[in-house]
Amino acid sequence: MKLGNYVAYISVSITWLIMELSVAQYMQYSGAIIFFAILINVASMVIASYRPAYHTYLFTVNTAVMIYVGYTLPSNLATAYSMALSITIIMYLLLNGLLKPLILLISVPIIYVSYIVEKALLRTPIITVLSALIGTAGINSHLFILVLSWYLSLFIVLIIIVLLVLLIK
Amino acid sequence: MVLYILLSGITYLGLLTNNPFTTYLGLTLFVTFTSYILTWYLLVNLTLLNSQIIFEDGTIEVVIGNQAQLSVRVVSSIPLRFASTLSLLHPPHVITGVERVVINGGNKIVNITGRWVGEVYIIGGLIEVADEMGLLRVQGLLINEGIHVIIRPARSRKEGVKRGLSGYGEIGMFVEGMLGDLKALVEYDYERPASSIHWLTSARVGDLIMVSRGEHGSCPAIIMDSSSSVLIPRDGKRLIDEFLQAISDVAQRCPEVNVILVSRGYVEQRVITWNSIPSLERYVRIRIVKNHLDSAAIDIPQYFIRYLGINELAEVAYIKEELNDEATDAEIEKAHSIIGGRKHVLLLHPRVYG
């Protein structure tokens, strides 16, 4: 699947515009951030219309802006906004042919296996001990354990797959 | 690598600033990309392991300096299509480029340029698949029975070659060489072509008389140095190609040419026709390469070499340095004694040509 770069960029830009308008009412500190984000997004769409070749740079700039917007959002929107932003980024890469839909689809079981391993890791005593230690160091222990368990589970899956590849070779 | 540093950076920023959004975003993208790349790596390896390279032609003939085309495709029993680059495995006698092919994607026409005279095999190809984001590359070695490529010398006599054949260039000698030496005038055999009738004598004696000729006429015997030094290219050109061009010029007027191969401690007589000139180069090269495979250059990554047998390696290997095996006067004298009392002898030796 590979659409024109312009079509891919405009599709993602429109989705981002909807997201920006949706979160505008929840901005904690200043409405100026979301105003500038929308302005940059619209300006990028205009530039992309005249110079489709710049779509990569415009995408990078707007991704950075969207991440900054997400950074200023309240915690209760973090999960939904991060998922929506991740999906749009992946969609853009899919539409541009940088990711193959079939391979992405086949990779879903690997994510699921990683999820199961991550859940199993969370039940191990070492994680509980680490969680308590991190809590005393002033770092958000929930986030830290989340990152650690996902990294570990992916690492385990990676080792299994590399060994599998070496075995079949 | 940059992508992973960026994603890890976003994740750690969230951790350090206690911001769940950046942690979730970094982690989600990290998990998605990693599982995608792992799946891609697994599928590409499976596809390459079940792939084979297929050449559509059996033999390709090309004249030195000219181009020929080869149709090639890469197919796999895993029904996935991956864009890849393919480098054919062959000795430096032919020049081919790095071609873009799609696995399971149909035929690809590859241009082959004849660089040196000889007979070589393209034993397969080195295929490389890279993911579209440039994160990972996987290489595979695809070997098959090989395609036979014959690089022939030019038919026309070249200016430079005349030097080596001085004394054989006159038209009279050329025709004499082609027809053979005049042996006798005999009664006409009605199964022979009418062009062999000697009309002047026939008119004189009142009967059809024809010319009986020897087989090879004034064809010279050739003593050719077959040491490693004639195979080493200098500015991209080898001495053996000049030698083979000289033999080609002789073979165009003589159906069979006696060639005595000489190198240090080695003298061998071979009978060569024009068609078998590329085989002569192969014979000389393979004899040296097989005896000195350790000092030969092989244009294949080291980790793939263990998958190739000695015969496959000898097909793609090439001598990279002189082995001090040039023929001495003793071998040349021995070659002369094999020729016996032949009037015309052509010596093809680095000391004469170099």
Q: Is B313 left (phi over 0), alpha (psi -120 to 50) or beta?
A: alpha
Asked if residue B217 has pLDDT above 60, the reply is: no
Of A86, A90, A169, the CB nearest to B49: A169
Chain B residues touching A146 at Cβ < 8 A: 23, 27
Q: How far apart are CA B118 and CA A44, in angstroms?
A: 60
Using the beta-carbon criterion (under 8 Å), do B41 and A165 form an inter-chain contact? Answer: yes
Q: How far apart are CA B94 and CA B110, in angstroms?
A: 12
pTM given for the model: 0.76
For residue A45, the distance in angstroms to the closest alpha carbon of chain B comes to 24
Asked if residue B159 has pLDDT above 80, the reply is: no
Of A78, A168, A169, the CB nearest to B24: A78
> What per-residue confidence (pLDDT) applies to B163?
42
Using the beta-carbon criterion (under 8 Å), do B34 and A169 form an inter-chain contact? Answer: no
Asked if residue B255 has pLDDT above 80, the reply is: no
- Band (pLDDT 50/70/90 cuts) for residue B164 is very low
Residue of B nearest to A111 (CA): B35
Residue of A nearest to B19 (CA): A71
Using the beta-carbon criterion (under 8 Å), do A154 and B31 form an inter-chain contact? Answer: yes
Asked if residue B32 has pLDDT above 70, the reply is: yes
Helix (H) / strand (E) element for B148: namely: strand B137-152
Q: In the predicted model, what is the mean pLDDT of residues B32-59?
A: 89
Chain B residues touching A157 at Cβ < 8 A: 35, 38
Asked if residue B168 has pLDDT above 60, the reply is: no
Using the beta-carbon criterion (under 8 Å), do B29 and A100 form an inter-chain contact? Answer: no
Asked if residue B303 has pLDDT above 90, the reply is: no
For residue B24, the distance in angstroms to the closest alpha carbon of chain A comes to 6
Chain B residues touching A81 at Cβ < 8 A: 21
> What per-residue confidence (pLDDT) applies to A155?
87
As for the ipTM of the complex, it is 0.88
Place of tokens 């005349």: B162
Side by side, which strands form the sheet with B221-225? B266-272, B257-263, B221-225, B345-348
> What per-residue confidence (pLDDT) applies to A1?
44
Question: Strand, coil or helix: what is B142?
Answer: strand
> What per-residue confidence (pLDDT) applies to A83?
92
What residue type is B328 in one-letter code?
T
Using the beta-carbon criterion (under 8 Å), do A143 and B35 form an inter-chain contact? Answer: no
Indicate the DSSP class of residue A127: H
Using the beta-carbon criterion (under 8 Å), do A147 and B24 form an inter-chain contact? Answer: no
Using the beta-carbon criterion (under 8 Å), do A70 and B22 form an inter-chain contact? Answer: yes
Chain A residues touching B34 at Cβ < 8 A: 154, 158
- Band (pLDDT 50/70/90 cuts) for residue B289 is confident
Q: In the predicted model, what is the mean pLDDT of residues B270-292?
A: 89
What residue type is B113 in one-letter code?
T
> What per-residue confidence (pLDDT) applies to B101?
93
Using the beta-carbon criterion (under 8 Å), do B18 and A139 form an inter-chain contact? Answer: yes
Q: How far apart are CA B182 and CA B196, in angstroms?
A: 11
Give the residue ranges of DSSP H helices in A51-97. 55-71, 78-95
pLDDT in tens, B99-145: 999 999 889 999 999 999 999 999 999 999 998 888 889 999 998 88
Chain A residues touching B38 at Cβ < 8 A: 107, 110, 157-158, 161
> What per-residue confidence (pLDDT) applies to B167?
39
Interface of A with B in 66-85 (CB under 8 A): 67, 70-71, 73, 75, 77-79, 81-83, 85
Q: In the predicted model, what is the mean pLDDT of residues B22-36?
A: 90
Chain B residues touching A164 at Cβ < 8 A: 42
Of A70, A75, A111, the CB nearest to B35: A111
Interface of A with B in 88-107 (CB under 8 A): 89-90, 93, 97-100, 102-104, 106-107
> What per-residue confidence (pLDDT) applies to B160?
41
Question: Strand, coil or helix: what is B225?
Answer: strand
Using the beta-carbon criterion (under 8 Å), do A164 and B42 form an inter-chain contact? Answer: yes
Asked if residue B88 has pLDDT above 90, the reply is: yes
Using the beta-carbon criterion (under 8 Å), do A67 and B38 form an inter-chain contact? Answer: no
Contact A5, A52 (CB under 8 A): yes
Q: How far apart are CA B157 and CA B252, in angstroms?
A: 10
Of A85, A93, A107, the CB nearest to B39: A107
Q: How far apart are CA B262 and CA B346, in angstroms?
A: 13
For residue B58, count CB atoms less than 10 angstroms from its CB and return exposed for 0-12, middle for 13-18, buried for 19 or more. exposed
Chain A residues touching B30 at Cβ < 8 A: 150, 154
> What per-residue confidence (pLDDT) applies to A169?
66
Asked if residue B17 has pLDDT above 50, the reply is: yes
> What per-residue confidence (pLDDT) applies to A12?
92
> What per-residue confidence (pLDDT) applies to B165?
43
Using the beta-carbon criterion (under 8 Å), do A139 and B15 form an inter-chain contact? Answer: yes
Handedness of CA B322, B323, B324, B326 (dihedral sign): negative
Two tokens at B277? Answer: 């000139």
Residue pairs between chains A and B whose CB atoms are closer than 8 Å: 110
Using the beta-carbon criterion (under 8 Å), do B15 and A140 form an inter-chain contact? Answer: yes
Q: In the predicted model, what is the mean pLDDT of residues B146-151?
A: 90
> What per-residue confidence (pLDDT) applies to B194?
83
pLDDT cut 90: percent of chain B above it: 25
Angle at A69 between CA A65 and CA A70, to 5 degrees: 115
Beta strands in B34-107 (DSSP E): 51-55, 59-63, 67-76, 83-89, 94-95, 99-102
> What per-residue confidence (pLDDT) applies to A126?
83
pLDDT cut 70: percent of chain B above it: 89
Side by side, which strands form the sheet with B67-76? B51-55, B67-76, B108-114, B94-95
Substitution target from A165, A166, A167, A168 for chain B, most B beta carbons within 10 A: A165
* φ/ψ (deg, to 5) at B319: -65, 130
Over its length of 169 residues, how does chain A's per-residue pLDDT go in tens digits? 455 788 888 999 999 999 988 888 776 655 788 888 999 999 999 998 888 888 889 999 999 999 988 888 888 888 899 999 999 999 999 988 888 899 999 989 888 888 888 888 888 888 888 877 777 777 777 788 888 888 888 888 888 888 887 887 6
Residue of A nearest to B132 (CA): A98
> What per-residue confidence (pLDDT) applies to B115?
92
Asked if residue B193 has pLDDT above 50, the reply is: yes
Chain A residues touching B36 at Cβ < 8 A: 99, 103-104, 107
